A and B are shown apart, each in its own frame.
Chain A
Amino acid sequence: MAAVCGLMRRPLEQVTVRDAINQGMDEELERDEKVFLLGEEVAQYDGAYKVSRGLWKKYGDKRIIDTPISEMGFAGIAVGAAMAGLRPICEFMTFNFSMQAIDQVINSAAKTYYMSGGIQPVPVVFRGPNGASAGVAAQHSQCFAAWYGHCPGLKVVSPWNSEDAKGLIKSAIRDNNPVVVLENELMYGVPFELPSEAQSKDFLIPIGKAKIERQGTHITVVAHSRPVGHCLEAATVLSKEGIECEVINMRTIRPMDIETIEASVMKTNHLVTVEGGWPQFGVGAEVCARIMEGPAFNFLDAPAVRVTGADVPMPYAKILEDNSIPQVKDIIFAIKKTLNI
């Protein structure tokens, strides 16, 4: 791939999300020798999803470490290494397996800086695929945005496209707080144009800032990760009917950029949130609660609506799985309902 071979980059090059993350990690590994990657299969195998392709070959055993199968073990190792001054990137094969390490992530990584009175920082990055994939059933399909977004002490980001992926992984690695990077397996292979700024080695996307992917006037549609693409598709369809959607890519779950969403709602007067995770206590629920608590509430012409994954463990059967995550038609339906069309 162009990224790993270091070929001269042309402007507006098509880069997949996988390669964008790879580039981001590669650049940060080169920039700071304290950065290292550990996880299952990340070294010679190039990563279970090939996200770390070429890195072991380039940086060797000291920087790219294959671990035995113990999430609690290697997450703990990552936390300890961060406490001792290194900057680990801890890869979970999927975030579903992070549940086996949840104590290390929450009780140790998230809370230690606070509980030590500021003595002990933990600059660790936990990354890996999150949320639904295809045909992998319930134990491999859960979305953890709400779980991790719940906890103070953690920063949580959720990239959608290649630019997001590259800029956010780089910011996460440089951040001195523990950061959870929720990638998406179905997005890994999707190519996007990387604008020229994104090709700089110091290209960073600030954590805590949402992006308006598409300007609109009739309704604000807020999403994170893969559903952002579905929202843009829905917006294209609706545009033909004269409905202009403003699509906001959250990029960061915590700290949430509610101001961007508020400003948009104050302009459009309507709000729909879209996420792959379950409805109860989810990202959309938080967005709606905060809108109610802030100035934008008075600008709503209709109740805000959430489009979410179905409130069931992810089914295996394809037809059921397809209907358990928000599809473009579900988003269009919710938008029209909110607009009373």
Chain B
Amino acid sequence: MAVAVAVAVAAAAARVWGSSRGLGQAGLLLRRSAARGLARSLPQRQEQQHFPSLDDKPQFPGASAEFIDKLEFIQPNVISGIPVYRVMDRQGQIINPSEDPHLPQEKVLKLYRSMTLLNTMDRILYESQRQGRISFYMTNYGEEGTHVGSAAALDNTDLVFGQYREAGVLMYRDYPLELFMAQCYGNVSDLGKGRQMPVHYGCRERHFVTISSPLATQIPQAVGAAYAAKRANANRVVICYFGEGAASEGDAHAGFNFAATLECPIIFFCRNNGYAISTPTSEQYRGDGIAARGPGYGILSIRVDGNDVFAVYNATKEARRRAVAENQPFLIEAMTYRIGHHSTSDDSSAYRSVDEVNYWDKQDHPISRLRHYLQSRGWWDDEQEKAWRKQSRKKVMEAFEQAERKPKPSPSLLFSDVYQEMPAQLRKQQEALARHLQTYGEHYPLDHFEK
């Protein structure tokens, strides 16, 4: 019906203006309708020019697709969007046995212990901020599954660019409690020499790039690093973590686009935890989350249940295999929930209900789901749970007490690492400080600092 109307309109136009283009349009439409067997119902038109068959397919350099003669806007599908891949249900039972990664007991226990140790450390360090012992902290409650599930699927040498809520990746890579604490306390053992706010970890040995505060800046950087890995033929993937809020930044757009055009072996891992400080996802975006953006850039994308460690593991594992083999980016959007506050500077009861938080804590938590799985396999029980809780708390408390007792880094480090080689005027200032402290040191709390 619409075709007949369109043809009539075009024919009318042709009559009014008599332009060959008008006729041409009518001619095209007629040919189309002929293909659908409607030609007989349409009035005869004048002889048309014959266009070469190439003209039937769009030749635009910018896109390859068919023509369509029906006006139709593509509907963003937010009601039934991209489905959420999961392996376990909320009770830790495998839903589809063919998706079970069949991880050995040791590995699953390592996943569990990493998540729970992180959880314990989070509790203690959060409290320590409340007590004025450290200046700031960010917990990972509820998102532990996204960290360890993905970390377990990578090689130890794969490069990690995080945002700030990925401590579980380091935990899985056996970053010692001592060093977590050292960074939060800024003590002499801190690899970062006390130069950053707490939770801004960095570890060269474990291929974890130092956390940087401005959001999403790590996204194009990760792409650049992936490009370097591709150049080096290193059999190495770069994984880049970010939240659904950070994905709104311009850097994210640029990073996704470049990863696709430069064909880089990178996994974009979005932790969609429902909130960016107080901004809920309903105000952060109107599309179907972050996974739906991937195809817009030409990136293979998937949405997974972030609280299901095995789903996260499976998706990351496959993404890694293909990213390296095919030199192309992958986008994984892990749906989860931020059970804790954004940070110690936030009180989330101001913008969400305690009931909502409790629901996720009690009904859908990555740690309890994995525990159910472990218990149903006979690999864990209540006694072991009790013992491990006691042991992990003890470990954390010991590291914590040690961290408090350690001195701060030496004041002479005030001047280093601005450049690779210390410039003359900084060296002069460093020497002037040393001389000053020699004479007046007693007036300063020097015993809190390393010499």
In the docked arrangement, what's the CA distance between A177 and B228, Å? Answer: 18
Q: Mark A99-123, 1 if CB is under 8 A from B, else 0.
A: 0000110011000111111111100
In the docked arrangement, what's the CA distance between A153 and B420, Å? Answer: 9
Instruction: Tell whether A73 pairs with B220 under 8 Å between CB atoms, given A62-B231, A112-B210, A115-B196.
Output: yes
Structural contact, A114 and B195, CB atoms closer than 8 A: yes
Structural contact, B420 and A113, CB atoms closer than 8 A: yes
Structural contact, A117 and B417, CB atoms closer than 8 A: yes
Q: Is B436 an interface residue (CB 8 A)?
A: no
In the docked arrangement, what's the CA distance between A104 and B217, Å? Answer: 7
Q: Shortest beta-carbon distance, A232 to chain B, in Å? A: 29
Q: Mark B182-195, 1 if CB is under 8 A from A, else 0.
A: 00000000111111
Closest to B260 in A: A68
Q: Which residues of A contact B159 (CB under 8 A)?
A: 84
Q: Is A132 an interface residue (CB 8 A)?
A: no
Q: Shortest beta-carbon distance, B198 to chain A, in Å? A: 13
Structural contact, A77 and B258, CB atoms closer than 8 A: yes
Q: Which residues of A contact B257 (CB under 8 A)?
A: 68, 70, 73
Closest to A110 in B: B418
Structural contact, B250 and A119, CB atoms closer than 8 A: no
Q: Is B105 an interface residue (CB 8 A)?
A: no
Q: Shortest beta-carbon distance, B431 to chain A, in Å? A: 17
Q: Is A86 an interface residue (CB 8 A)?
A: yes
Give 13 new A-B contacts, CB below 8 A, not counting A76-B220, A76-B223, A104-B221. Answer: A67-B258, A73-B253, A77-B227, A80-B226, A83-B221, A84-B224, A104-B251, A115-B196, A115-B210, A116-B192, A117-B194, A118-B193, A119-B210
Q: Of residues 166 to 213 in B, which have CB atoms within 8 Å of A's CB atoms? A: 190-196, 200, 202-204, 209-210, 212-213
Residues of B in contact with A (beta carbons under 8 Å apart): 159, 161, 190-196, 200, 202-204, 209-210, 212-214, 217-229, 231-232, 238, 250-251, 253-255, 257-258, 261-262, 416-420, 423-425
Q: Mark A219-253, 1 if CB is under 8 A from B, else 0.
A: 00000000000000000000000000000000000
Q: Mark A5-37, 1 if CB is under 8 A from B, else 0.
A: 000000000000000000000000000000000
In the docked arrangement, what's the CA distance between A77 and B226, Å? Answer: 9
Structural contact, B209 and A83, CB atoms closer than 8 A: yes
In the docked arrangement, what's the CA distance between A271 and B151, Å? Answer: 61
Q: Which residues of B contact A108 (CB under 8 A)?
A: 212, 214, 217, 221
Q: Shortest beta-carbon distance, B341 to chain A, in Å? A: 25
Across the interface, A119 reaches (CB within 8 A) one of B191, B194, B231, B262, namely B191
Structural contact, B221 and A76, CB atoms closer than 8 A: yes
Q: Shortest beta-carbon distance, A37 to chain B, in Å? A: 13
Structural contact, A84 and B228, CB atoms closer than 8 A: yes
Structural contact, A68 and B417, CB atoms closer than 8 A: no
Q: Which residues of B contact A75 (CB under 8 A)?
A: 220
In the docked arrangement, what's the CA distance between A153 and B419, Å? Answer: 6
In the docked arrangement, what's the CA distance between A82 and B420, Å? Answer: 14
Closest to B264 in A: A77
Q: Is A292 an interface residue (CB 8 A)?
A: no
